[in-house]
Each structure stands twice: as C-alpha cells, then as structure tokens.
Amino acid sequence: MSVGPISQIGADEPASLPLSPLPRSREPAAAPAYAPAAASGRMRLINQHPGRGEKILLGALLFVALIIAYSIGSYLRLSANPDDKLLPSLAQMSRAMYEFAFVPDVRSGDYLLWSDTAASLGRLFSGIAISAMIAVGLGVPAGFIPRARATLAPFVAAISLIPPITILPVLFIIFGLGETSKIVLIVIGTAPVMVRYMAQMVTEIPQEQIIKAATLGASTWQMILRVVFPQIMPKLITCIRLSLAPAWIFLISAEAIASTGGLGYRIFLVRRYLAMDVILPYVAWITLIAFALDRLLYLYSKRRYAWAHIEGGAL
Amino acid sequence: MSFVEAQNIWVRYGDAPILERVSIAVERGSFCTIVGASGCGKSTFLRLLLGQERPQRGRVLMEGAVIPAEPTPDRGIVFQRYSVFPHLTAMQNLTLPAAFEQSPFLGRLFGKARREAEEAADAMLAKIGLSHARDRYPAQLSGGMQQRLAIAQALLKRPKILLMDEPFGALDPGIRLDMQTLLLNIWRETGMTIFMVTHDISEAFRLGTRLIVFDKVRHDPQHPTAFGATITYDLKLKDGTALDSFRAAEFLAEQTINQDGAVHV
C-alpha cells in the first residue's frame, strides 16, 4: 500500500492548516484541501466569484450611491434656498421631463423630447451608416490589396489626424448650417479611424485562409465576398460600437453650435436659463440611448454572427 | 521527366540564407515526408512548392513547367491551424470550392447547383466521418475533426499535389494515428503526390515513400545563421511501411551522434 508515506505527510502538517472539519483519518481520500464550500471564505479575493443575485446588487450599488448622494446634495441646497437651480430635486426633474415628453411645446406644437431625440438619432445614424460604408469600402481594399493599401494608407492616416472640430467652420461654409454639415462632421470624425480599424482587421485574417481560398480557386473578388466580408462584419459592429462615443461628441458639438433642434441643441439652449432640471435628465437620456445602442449592436452581432462568439472548443 | 523537380534552389530572407543548393526530383504519386530542425527551411521549401514564395536562385518545376508564382487549385494545402474557414459550417466549408468555380460574381450557389454541391459535400462528410457535424462551425469541432475537414476541403479541387505543413502537429497521439490512417487511405485512393512536413520522425517513416531531411551542412559557431540548409538525407522507403532499414538505422545513428546542439530532428 502506498498510503503510508502520504498519511505521514499529513501527520506532519501544522495544526492550523487543514480547513476541513473532518477528523484526521489515515485514508488519503480524506485529505482536506478540496472542500470548496467550506473553503470559499478563505480563498483569495481573485478566486471568489459573486453569484447571480449578488452580481446584480453589486452592479446597482454605484448607481444607487450616486442617486442618494445627489438627492442629499440637492436637498441640502434646496432647503437653504428653494430657488436654487444648480441641483434640482428628482421631482423637479421629473416634472420638467414630463413637460418635455408629454406636453406639446407652445411655439412649435412638438413634443420636444421626442422631436429632439428623433432629430439627433437621425443625424447620428446617417453619419455612422455613411462612416461604416466608407470603412468597409476603403478598409477592405486597404487591408487586402497591396496596391490599394499603398494608395490609401498614407492618405487615410493623414486625414485621421485632422482634429474634426477644426473642419466644422469649413463644413458650415460649404454645406450651410443644415443637416448636411452635422452629418458630414460625424463622418469626418469617425470614418478615418474606422477605415484604419477595418483595414487592420482585414490584415489580421490569417494568411493561411487566404492561401487556402486561392488553392480552392477563388479570385480576389470571391475572396473578398466569401472570406473577408463575412469575417469582418462582426468586427465592423465592434468598430461601430467603439465609434459611437466620438460620434455622439461630434453630434452634440455640431448641434450646440448651429441647429434648431436635437438633444445637444436643447441642452445648450436651456443652459442660458441655468435649467439644470432639463439638462441633467437630457444627459441621462443620451447616456441611456447610447447604452441601449451599444447593447443592441452587441446582441445583434451575437445572434447574426454566432461563429464569432463561440469561445474555445465547446461542443 | 520527373513530376516535381527543384533545381539548385537558393532562398535567403534578408541577410539570412535559409536554403542553399536544394535539388530534388520527385515521381508522380510519391508521398514525401520532410523532417528537419526548426528553422531549417522545411516550411520555406513547402511554400516554394505552393508558389507563395520564389527562390532567389534556381527553379521549381511541375510536369516540366515552372510552377505559377501564386497558389493555384492544382496544389492543395493543409496547414497546422487556420486551414478551414471559421465563419462557415462544415457543410459550407465543403461547398465553397464549387461556389468559387460556378459563381464568379456572387461566389454563392442557388437552387439546383447548390443542391448538387451539397450532395457532393455530404458524400465527402460521410467519407471523413463528419456527417454528424454537418452544421457545426469549426470552433465547435475538435482539432482532429477540423483537420479532417481541412483535408477533405483540400481534396475537393482534386489537386495534383497535396502540401501539408505539420498537419497533425497539434493533435493528440491517438487522434494522430487515426488521421495517418485516413491520409494513407486517401493517398492510395487518389494517387496524389503528397509533400508533408512533420516534426514526428516516426510519422515520417510510417507514412512516407520517401523521407527528406533538411539540415545545415556548413556551420559557423560564431554566426549560426551564416549558412542555409540543404537536403542532407533522401531516403527511399518502400510503400511507406517496409523501410530501407539499413539507411534508416544509419540516419537515426547520425541523429544521435549529432546531439551537440546542431541537429534536432
């Protein structure tokens, strides 16, 4: 029997080590080390994972803390001065939002929250859609065809370094103050980086696959259609998700400077009246939309391009 | 005239010579296994045959003509990894060559053409024992299944030469044996000429009708990359099983003698 030496080692252990409540036995099977439930309290922090419910609680923690902190601050300021505008109460903000969402504007008859949202999203989607088309249209050749890369790479790299906001006056002069210049600003702000990202993603397709396609008789065009496009589509969605943040910045900036509607326009308009009860909910609303867009894109990618989200060799 | 012939090949990457004075003539239907230390140009030699690279000196001929300078369907390839398309199911991976052939602009098949391609692919899947994995993506297949799929895919275009770069290098020993059997059967059935790079010397002996060893003959201890490798052994094995025992023994003895850091086969 080989039990002897093992149990001897066990007998030499310092008394404080074993975590198991079981009495010492001479059987090696009773060696303590692997009792996860009993041991979890003593495990390293990096190995302790929250359960489902705890995860939700922990995730909500900072949001709740922020709301509480804000409410306290708002309460303190308002009790000192009921006309304080800096930290409106949650009730004041709800009232303002109710008016923006469900009471038609006296002058235009629009429900402002919705008309602002529609205007801004229209610009955002147009800009991002155009950028995405440019990103694929230029990024794929730039990443796949050496001659196209030699032509495009230096130019795109240079263009992407222009600070987009500096172009805004030029856009206003060329396209006027209408929708075009705002959409073009989003495109100029996001497209060059997206082109570079997509070109990079194309070059990261393993060379083996391209060679394999060649030995299967594919032309360059067929490779683009059947090997490159499908594989970079999930990357394009990632790219769009990453570009949404700068796109919002350019959208709000353009709206702030010259516009007659839109979320950014509204925020900068009511700023004149220190209307924090409108600005703060608007910011929260923009954040919520941005978050929802990001999640929707992620879920779409997961559903449409399941192969790209399979991790490891799960059977 | 030999089927495949390399004539006095020299290849260098920048300052580093990789291959020098490589000449070999291979008959149609041979199964050449290629072994050698890491970084001694086995894979480079395979890429020359593939047309992915060109030698600085010398030429590679197939059926008497210089091989095209880019991969073409007459030379199939199986890599150690990334050989199948991750975004296509097993079935789609196998209908792809037909789509390339019949649909130059869309690269897709519809209706009758599609059904025919799928029937052919189904037959191939059954042959390699993957019928049950028809609609799975490569990431959902084990390493062995992926390589079976890769081999099947490479065979669809009926290449004259099949090039394999350590195709079973990442597989478990048991799976590896199955794959070797499968490959031998395919080779006997199709009569293809196969070039296979491997790290596994026993695999090289078991499968090959001809064993080619790449190694450096000249060494500069102060400058290990001063010289390129060439073919140091070219053993004709009979039928891939009954090997030329004398030369093999001599070869193996040589490998043990050379354990001074110079050769690691």
Say what the ipTM of the complex is: 0.84
Among the ranges given (A18-32, A128-142, B2-16, B35-49), the one the predictor scored with the smallest mean pLDDT: A18-32
Q: Do both A80 and A109 map to the same domain?
A: no
Q: In the structure, what pLDDT confidence band is assigned to residue A12 with cuts at 50, 70 and 90?
A: very low
Would the pLDDT of A206 be above 60?
yes
Element (H, E) at A209: helix A207-215
Q: Are residue B143 and residue B201 in the same domain, yes or no? A: no
Question: Mapped to the 3 state alphabet, what secondary structure does chain B carry?
Answer: CCCEEEEEEEEEECCEEEEEEEEEEECCCCEEEEEECCCCCHHHHHHHHHCCCCCCEEEEEECCEECCCCCCCCEEEECCCCCCCCCCCHHHHHHHHHHHHHCCCCCCCCHHHHHHHHHHHHHHHHHCCCHHHCCCCHHHCCHHHHHHHHHHHHHCCCCCEEEEECCCCCCCHHHHHHHHHHHHHHHHHHCCEEEEECCCHHHHHHHCCEEEEEECCCCCCCCCCCCCEEEEEEEECECCCECCHHHHHHHHHHHHHCCCCCCCC
8 A C-beta contact, residue A205 and residue A227: yes
**Residue ending a domain, choose from B158, B188, B204:** B158
Residues A267 and A121 in one domain: yes
Pair of tokens at residue A123: 């610009």
Co-location of A40 and A70 in the same domain:
no
pLDDT confidence tier of residue A7, bands split at 50, 70 and 90: very low
Q: Do B59 and B96 fall within a single domain?
A: no
Mean pLDDT of B85-96: 93
Domain of B34, CATH number, reads 3.40.50.300
Residue A248 and residue A139 share a domain: yes
Number of domains in chain A: 3
Residue B217 lies in a domain: yes
pLDDT band with cut points at 50, 70 and 90 for residue B1: low
Q: How far off is chain B from A17, nearest CA to CA, in Å?
A: 39
Q: What is the mean pLDDT of residues B174-199?
A: 89
Higher pLDDT, A138 or A109: A138
Quick check: is A315 in a domain?
no
* Structure-model confidence comparison of residues B174 and A195, the more confident one: A195
Window 231-290 of A: residues touching B by CB (8 A cutoff) are 231
Q: For residue A92, is it within any domain?
A: no
Whole-number Å distance between alpha carbons of B200 and B234: 17
* Same-domain check for residues B105 and B143: yes
Structure tokens at A298: 């992620």
| Other beta carbons less than 10 A from residue A165's beta carbon | 15
To the nearest whole Å, the CA of A150 is away from the closest chain B CA by 20
Collect all residues of chain A within an 8 Å Cβ-Cβ radius of residue B154.
212, 215
Identify whether residues B58 and B97 lie together within a single domain: no
Do residue B174 and residue B67 come from a single domain? Answer: yes
pLDDT tens readout for residues B71-88: 999 999 999 888 899 999
**Between A217, A312, A313, which is nearest B100 by CB?**
A217
Q: What's the mean pLDDT when you consider all of chain B?
A: 84
Q: Which positions in chain B have a beta carbon within 8 angstroms of at least one beta carbon in chain A?
A: 50, 52, 70-73, 75-77, 79, 81-88, 96-97, 99-101, 104-108, 137, 139-143, 153-154, 156-157, 159
Task: Answer yes or no: are the C-beta atoms of B206 and B199 closer than 8 Å.
Answer: no
What proportions of chain A, in percent to the nearest 5, are helix, strand and coil? 75, 0, 25
Of A211, A225, A306, the CB nearest to B52: A211
Q: What are the tens digits of pLDDT across the range B97-121?
A: 999 999 889 888 898 999 999 999 9
CB B246 within 8 A of CB B237: no
The pLDDT tens digits for B125-169 are 988 888 999 999 998 898 889 998 999 999 888 899 999 999 988
pLDDT of A315 reads 30
Give chain B positions within 8 Å (CB) of A231.
Answer: 85-87
pLDDT of residue A178: 85
Into how many domains does chain B fold? 2
Q: Which pLDDT score is estimated for A308?
A: 85
Within this chain, do residues A77 and A123 fall inside the same structural domain, yes or no? Answer: no
| Structural domain that includes position B130 | 85-158
Q: Does residue B80 lie in a domain region? A: no
* Residue predicted with more confidence, A108 or A209: A209
- A234-238, A298-302, B245-249: segment of lowest average pLDDT: B245-249
On whether both A262 and A163 belong to a single domain, the answer is yes
Shared domain for B25 and B130, answered yes or no, is no
* Same domain as A178, residue A127: yes
Mean pLDDT of B209-236: 84
For A231, name the nearest residue in chain B, comparing CA atoms only: B87
Within this chain, do residues B133 and B243 fall inside the same structural domain, yes or no?
no
Query: Average pLDDT for residues A29-50, to the nearest whole number?
Result: 67
Q: Determine the pLDDT at residue B238.
A: 63
Do B176 and B223 reside in the same domain of the chain?
yes
Q: Which residue does chain A place closest to B103, by CA atoms? A: A222
Last residue in a domain, options B158, B174, B202: B158
Average pLDDT for chain A: 85
Give the residue numbers spanning the domain of A69: 52-87
Same domain, A260 and A292: yes
Are A264 and A256 spatial neighbours (Cβ–Cβ below 8 Å)?
A: yes
Rounded to a whole number, what is the distance in angstroms from the first to the last CA of chain A? 40
**A57 and A43 housed in the same domain:** no
Calculate how close chain B gets to A272, using CA atoms only, in Å.
53
Give me the percent of chain A exceeding a pLDDT of 70: 85
Q: Is residue A207 part of a domain?
A: yes
Asked whether residue B60 is domain-assigned, the answer is yes
To the nearest whole Å, the CA of A224 is away from the closest chain B CA by 10
Instruction: Please indicate if any CB of chain B lies within 8 Å of the CB of A313.
Output: yes
**Closest Cα of chain B to A214: distance in Å?**
6
| Interchain CB distance below 8 Å, B108 and A211 | no
Picking from B218, B213, B216, B207, the residue whose alpha carbon sits closest to that of residue B252 is B213
Write down the pLDDT at residue B247.
54
pLDDT in tens, A117-136: 999 999 999 999 999 999 99
| Residue of B49, B53, B87 best to disrupt the A interface, most CBs of A under 10 A | B87
Residues of A whose CB is below 8 A from B107: 218, 221-222, 225-226
Residue B253's pLDDT band (cuts 50, 70, 90): low
Q: Does a structural domain hold residue B92?
A: yes
Taking phi over 0 as left and psi of -120 to 50 as alpha, with beta for the rest, B64 belongs to: left
DSSP E strand boundaries for chain A: none
Q: What is the largest CA-CA distance in chain B?
A: 66
Out of B116, B143, B158, a domain closes at: B158
Residue A93 lies in a domain: no
pLDDT band with cut points at 50, 70 and 90 for residue A193: very high
pLDDT of residue A156 exceeding 70, the answer is: yes
Tokens describing residue B57: 């000196």
Contact A215 B81 (CB under 8 A): no
- Within a domain: B30: yes
Domain assignment of residue B95, yes or no? yes
Residue B92 has pLDDT above 90, yes or no: yes
Lowest mean pLDDT of A17-21, A142-146, A261-265, B31-35, name the range.
A17-21
Same-domain pairing of A154 and A183: yes
pLDDT (0 to 100) of residue A313:
33
What pLDDT is recorded for position B249? Answer: 55
For the segment B179-201, the average pLDDT, to the nearest whole number, is 89
Q: Are residues A30 and A66 in the same domain?
A: no
CB contact under 8 Å between B71 and A227, yes or no, is: no
pLDDT digits (tens, 9 = 90+) for B6-44: 888 888 888 888 888 888 899 898 999 999 888 788 888
- Residue B218 pLDDT more than 90? no
- Examine the domain organization and report whether A38 and A174 are in the same domain: no
- Residue at a domain's end among A87, A114, A135: A87
Identify whether residues B148 and B58 lie together within a single domain: no
In the predicted model, is pLDDT for residue A211 greater than 90? yes
Q: For residue B252, is pLDDT > 80?
A: no
Report whether pLDDT(A3) > 70: no
Region of poorest pLDDT, from A101-105, A187-191, A201-205, A216-220: A101-105
Same-domain status, B255 and B190: yes
